[in-house]
Chains A and B, each alone.
Chain A
Amino acid sequence: MGRGQQLLIPLIDRQYYRKVLGYSPLAYWPLWEAGGSVAEELVHGWDGAYTGVTLGQAGIGDGHTAPLFDGANDYCDIYSVALSNAFDWNAGSAAIWARVFNVGVWTDGADRRAMYLGVDNNNLIYLCRDNTNNQIGYGARFGSVSKGQWPGGHSELGWMHMVITWDTAADEVWAYFNGALVDGVEAGLGVHVGTFGVNITNIGAYWHTGEVWYGYLAHGAVWAGTVLTPTQAADLAVVP
């Protein structure tokens, strides 16, 4: 092995995306494109499709860029039949890095979805900026039964890492903010019905152009059958 290779390999191994892939997500959209409408999905090629976003903005510090969602009419559609069929509503995790555009977003009264995995209005999983001032949301609604965490007091202008996990057998929903468990474990999950709906499986919006994120998003990922542990959630909140 040449000296150049010896130097290069440790650098490559420290890439954040490799860390994410190391936890074997079902699907992973880094959102690092510099141009075009395709949001590359690294695991299966279940690429998303950008609408309206401004690509190439400052990222989480991993050497890659992130898109800006304008809070009006932008989204990244990640729906696919394959994703829907492979998704595990009984046990799984979802994670994303999110950053608001400015401090005003925290008090603008809008629901702003960072990630929304929806069947319909009664069966869904989301990570969001809630419409209550300075509040974020982690939601899992199965069979119309809403569980999750909606912590307040937020005004961050930097990147935030959000993770939600669900496990119906254990009857638990966990939420993590920047790697730390939020409040506690929610129990009493309902029973999920259905598969993903077209137009309501997005990064950066609820349905197409509704409840649009205003700011930056990066490294969205979902896991099927894998409930990330507190240690794993904490590790994913660290770059690299």
Chain B
Amino acid sequence: MKIDFTFDSTNYRHYMDGINSVLHCHHYITLTQKTAHKYAAMGGNKILTESAEDAFRPLFDAGIQKNNLADPASRLAACTEYYSAMGMGLVNMKGDASGGEATLQRSHVDQGWLKKFGPSQLPVNYVTCGFLAAAFAAAHGKPARSYQVTETASIAKGDPESKFSVVCK
């Protein structure tokens, strides 16, 4: 799948398949996750996940439309490509409309966390949870918040892969 990266030389904005995107680093995303942890009791991690889901969905819908992807498998494959193109790592997704599972063999956030803070006691992939919720919903033509995603293993906690369960609500 070809992803179009463009740069608006009037406003100096970057676009990925027509969606305004921006370059940041592992310091920023891991500290953002840490901030969400700090306010977890008030819903910080939920906000982080939903912010990601709502931001990724338009990108996935744009890619699905641009490439005329009709079946869920090819739509999930497109989302997999976006994950890597964004520098987030390598994600493998399996399942159907009722849900499924996902694994990360390589992870920007986990590896960035280990580099910056060392091992974590808590899961650190709430952004990827949002990504997966958006991917499954886009693949199966469902609205936002259709899927509950839970991180069940984490590279940042010392596991060999990060793993997620995805359940249709």
Q: Do A and B associate with each other?
A: no
Interface residues of B (CB under 8 A from A): none
